[in-house]
A and B are shown apart, each in its own frame.
Chain A
């Protein structure tokens, strides 16, 4: 709008969102899923903390990683954790991975007009024991996929996963001959997020990686570059 002097007034818009950076990814195999996220929390050009967890174990068979604004990640994880607990106490059994995936989608869409600034990935094994990964946008679009990456390093990681997991644009190997083993997937996830740490300033410090299969969840942590 124009003032009486004819100057254009910049409308002051309230924006409660900040991006704390970070990358997350997950890969699903036939009977397992691997999920990983870095732990750096940045603000602009500074690093606020080197260890701020983006990972939450919801049930023994299902976990979530989120990137984006740390405050919204914390709140979303808090809400999700208590909803999962209440479900387990009400129904006498833990939430299935499909149910968790749908719940996350609904929690995000409930805030359609004031979104959680989070980019989530849910991974685990479903009722049949098959590994699954669910990816979301900020307002809750739900899609079940074989692999997914989110966060500031996602455009660096996703093409690697396209090539190595889905075998896209490859002439040297046929889809029928390729089997995604657990060791291969874990190495791939480690390499992918390490490479993202090389080229993305918001990714680095530590990585929390977790492998989920029918026996439960196995969590691990390793270091990335600190620079």
Chain B
């Protein structure tokens, strides 16, 4: 059985999911099929758009068009999204939509795209939902272990670096993770963008997902470091609303979170289309 390069958790020794009573059933490695080119097989089975673009040169199907290859994919994982986060004077604002699509079918309008890592750090989900859910939950466990061992809270930089190293070792396996790690630590509000390609970027604002170009438009236009809390939350909400309006892969409800020195708080949860009509009404009133 193939073993992967990365060990998810050093302590757990079992290599294969088996039923012997000595092990604890926890696996630190994901199973790979026992065939010649397992990663290509995995990538061709699961239809996640990102890996098809990356491996244009590597796969045997480089002659075929991208659309044909996408249709071949038997299993369509849930993806498509708009998430954004930005830091400002008083903390971090995170806003996400809640739609998950499987091909052209809307699989769910109520996905939780923000995953708490601990009481002062949140991770966002974009790309493959299962991949993000699994790795962010794993990051939460690692951070908890760190805090128990070292008796101090883990910094956002360290947590994002841990996730980055794990994902780098799974590079080219066809994972699709576009997550933002946001938090508030001793250095103030922090925001890192982590990618399944292995990138780790630090910036004051990011938007990730199929609707990110639309969100960036609103976000870049209204962003300042010295926003008030109300203005910042409204900016995040408006940006996602604009993205859900124009992007078919985004929609559902718009959730807004805020992180400051006291930890993270969920601010609001509004239906995307109803919010759009409310903004329209407000604009009409202001014009009069």
Which residues of A pack against B, CB within 8 Å?
Answer: 1-2, 8, 11, 13-15, 17, 82-83, 86, 105, 108-115, 117, 135, 137-143, 145, 155
**Which one of A8, A13, A113 has the greatest number of beta carbons of chain B within 10 Å?**
A113
Select one of A8, A82, A83, A109 contacting B134, CB under 8 A: A109
Q: How far is the CA of A110 from the CA of B32 in the complex (A)?
A: 9
Residues of chain A within 8 A of B25, CB atoms compared? 83
What residue of chain A has the Cβ atom nearest to residue B100's Cβ?
A: A141
A117 is contacted by which of B19, B74, B78 (Cβ under 8 Å)? B74
Q: Which of A105, A135, A138, A141 has the most CB of B within 10 A?
A: A141
Give bound CA distance, A153 to B97, whole Å.
27
Q: Does B45 contact A (CB under 8 A)?
A: yes
The 0/1 profile, CB within 8 Å of A marked 1, for residues 57-82 of chain B is: 00011110000000000111110000
| Chain A min CB distance to B23 (Å) | 11
Closest chain A CB from B126 CB (angstroms)? 13
* Chain A, residue nearest B63 (CB): A8
User: B74 touching A114 by the CB < 8 A rule?
Assistant: no
Contact A14 B129 (CB under 8 A): no
Q: List 24 A-B contacts (CB under 8 A).
A: A1-B60, A11-B60, A17-B75, A82-B19, A110-B17, A111-B30, A112-B175, A113-B33, A113-B38, A113-B39, A114-B32, A114-B33, A114-B38, A114-B41, A137-B78, A137-B107, A139-B75, A139-B131, A140-B130, A141-B129, A141-B133, A142-B133, A143-B108, A143-B112
Given contacts A112-B175, A117-B75, A138-B77, 16 further A-B contacts (CB under 8 A): A2-B63, A14-B41, A15-B45, A17-B74, A83-B25, A109-B130, A110-B31, A112-B42, A137-B76, A137-B77, A138-B75, A140-B130, A140-B134, A141-B111, A141-B129, A142-B133
- Is B236 located at the chain interface by the 8 A CB criterion? no
Contacts A14-B41, A137-B102: A114 and B110 contacting too (C-beta < 8 A)? no
Known contacts being A14-B35, A14-B41, A141-B133, is A113 close to B30, with CB within 8 Å? yes
Q: A142 — which chain B residues lie within 8 A by C-beta?
A: 133
* Shortest distance between the CB of A201 and any CB in chain B (Å): 19
Asked if residues B42 and A114 are in contact (CB atoms below 8 Å), the reply is yes
Give the contacts of B70-103 with A (CB-CB under 8 A): 74-78, 100, 102
Instruction: Give 7 closest A-B pairs by Cβ, nearest first.
Output: A113-B42, A114-B33, A11-B60, A141-B129, A139-B130, A141-B130, A138-B75
Q: By the criterion CB–CB under 8 Å, are B19 and A86 in contact? A: yes
B32 nearest CB neighbor, chain A only:
A113
Compute how far the CA of A8 lies from the CA of B68 in the bound complex, rounded to whole angstroms. Answer: 15
* A114→B111 CA distance, assembly (Å): 24
Of the candidates B31, B39, B45, B108, the one whose C-beta lies within 8 Å of that of A135 is B108
Q: Can you name the residue of chain A whose Cβ is closest to the Cβ of B62?
A: A1
Shortest C-beta distance, B172 to chain A (Å), equals: 12
Q: Per-residue CB proximity of B12-32 to A under 8 Å, as 1/0?
A: 000001010000010100111
Q: How far is the CA of A14 from the CA of B41 in the complex (A)?
A: 8
C-alpha gap A111/B17 in the complex (Å)? 11
CB <8 Å contact, A114 and B31 = yes
Q: How far is the CA of A172 from the CA of B97 in the complex (A)?
A: 28
Question: B105 an interface residue at 8 Å Cβ cutoff?
Answer: yes
